[in-house]
C-alpha cells in the first residue's frame, strides 16, 4: 500500500470514529478527546508522509541517475559502433585498393612488352630481304592492330589508376630520389653511375601510398659506391687515364 493511500484511509477512519463518538457521547469532553486523538494521528501521518516524500525524492533521484547513466552508456556504445564500422569500412577499402595493384602491374608489364615488340617489328619491317610471310607479319595492318591493342591496355591502366587516385592512392617517387626506408625496399645495389650514394637508380616494382600510410612499398635498386670510391682514392680507370 502506498503512503498516500494509507494517509487517506487513516483520515477516513478517524473521521468515522469522531462522528461515531459525537453521536454516542454528545459532550464537550468527548469532543475534545476525539479532536486530540485526531491531532495526534495527523501529526503521525504528517511524519509518515514526510518520510514517504523524502523516500520518493531519493528514489526519483536514483531513477534520474540511472537514466542518465543509460543515456551516457548508449552514447558511448553508439560512438564505439561508429568507430568500429568506420574501421571495417577503411579496412575493406584498403583491401580493395590493394587488390587493384596487381592489375596495374600486369597492365604496365603488358604495355612495356608490347612497346618492345613494336620496336622489334618496326626494325624488322625495314629489312629489304623479307619473305612474303614475313612481310605479312610486319604489314601496316598488323602494326595498326598491335597499336590498337596497346591503346586499349593503356585505357584500362588509366581507368585503374583513376580508381586508385579517387581512393587517395598515389605512386611513390623512386628513380633519382634518395632512398627512404619508410617507403622504399632495396632489392639490389649497384656501383654503376655517377649519382650520389643512396640515390635510387632503378625501380623494380612501383610502390603506392595513401594519406594514412604506405599501401605497398616500392622495390628499388640503390646506388652504392665501391669501397675505393667511398674512401676518396682514385679508381683504377682514373689512374690509367693519368
The parent domain of residue 221 ranges over 170-242
Residue 156 lies in a domain: no
**Rounded to a whole number, what is the distance in angstroms from the first to the last CA of the chain?**
117
Residue 50 lies in a domain: yes
Which residue, among 121, 147, 145, has the nearest Cα to 134 in the 3D structure?
A: 121
Of residues 18 and 43, more confidence is placed in: 43
Q: What is the pLDDT of residues 22-73, one digit of tens each?
A: 555 444 444 566 666 666 766 777 777 777 777 777 888 888 888 888 888 8
Q: How many helices (H) and strands (E) does the chain have?
A: 6, 6
Residue 208 lies in a domain: yes
Residue 93 lies in a domain: no
Q: Which of 31, 63, 81 is the C-terminal boundary of a domain?
A: 81
Number of domains making up the chain: 2
Q: Is 232 left (phi over 0), alpha (psi -120 to 50) or beta?
A: left
**pTM value?**
0.58
Domain with residue 199: its CATH number is 2.30.22.10
Which residue, among 147, 166, 145, 156, has the nearest Cα to 210 in the 3D structure?
A: 166
Residue 43 lies in a domain: yes
Residue 40 lies in a domain: yes
Q: What is the pLDDT of residues 174-191, one digit of tens each?
A: 999 999 999 999 999 998
Residue 125 lies in a domain: no
Q: Which of 27, 53, 81 is the C-terminal boundary of a domain?
A: 81
Q: Which of 25, 48, 81 is the C-terminal boundary of a domain?
A: 81
Residue 135 lies in a domain: no
Q: What is the pLDDT of residues 69-102, one digit of tens each?
A: 888 887 888 888 888 888 888 888 888 899 999 9
Amino acid at each position: 500500500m502506498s503512503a498516500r493511500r494509507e494517509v487517506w484511509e487513516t483520515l477516513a477512519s478517524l473521521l468515522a470514529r469522531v462522528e461515531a463518538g459525537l453521536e454516542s457521547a454528545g459532550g464537550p469532553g468527548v469532543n475534545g478527546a476525539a479532536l486530540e486523538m485526531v491531532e495526534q494521528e495527523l501529526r503521525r501521518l504528517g511524519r509518515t508522509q514526510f518520510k514517504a516524500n523524502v523516500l520518493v525524492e531519493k528514489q526519483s533521484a536514483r531513477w534520474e541517475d540511472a537514466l542518465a547513466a543509460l543515456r551516457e552508456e548508449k552514447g558511448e556504445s553508439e560512438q564505439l559502433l561508429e568507430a568500429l564500422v568506420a574501421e571495417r569500412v577503411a579496412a575493406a577499402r584498403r583491401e580493395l585498393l590493394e587488390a587493384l595493384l596487381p592489375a596495374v602491374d600486369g597492365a604496365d608489364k603488358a604495355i612495356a612488352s608490347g612497346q618492345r615488340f613494336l620496336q622489334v617489328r618496326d626494325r624488322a619491317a625495314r629489312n629489304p630481304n623479307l619473305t612474303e610471310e614475313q612481310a605479312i607479319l610486319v604489314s601496316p595492318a598488323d602494326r595498326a592492330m598491335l597499336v590498337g591493342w596497346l591503346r586499349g591496355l593503356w585505357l584500362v591502366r588509366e581507368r585503374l589508376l583513376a580508381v586508385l587516385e579517387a581512393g587517395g592512392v598515389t605512386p611513390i617517387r623512386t628513380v633519382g630520389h634518395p632512398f627512404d626506408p619508410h617507403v622504399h625496399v632495396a632489392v639490389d645495389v649497384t656501383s654503376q653511375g655517377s649519382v650520389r650514394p643512396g640515390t635510387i637508380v632503378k625501380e623494380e616494382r612501383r610502390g603506392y601510398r595513401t594519406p594514412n600510410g604506405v599501401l605497398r612499398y616500392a622495390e628499388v635498386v640503390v646506388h652504392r659506391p665501391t669501397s675505393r670510391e667511398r674512401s676518396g682514392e682514385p679508381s683504377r680507370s682514373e689512374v690509367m687515364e693519368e
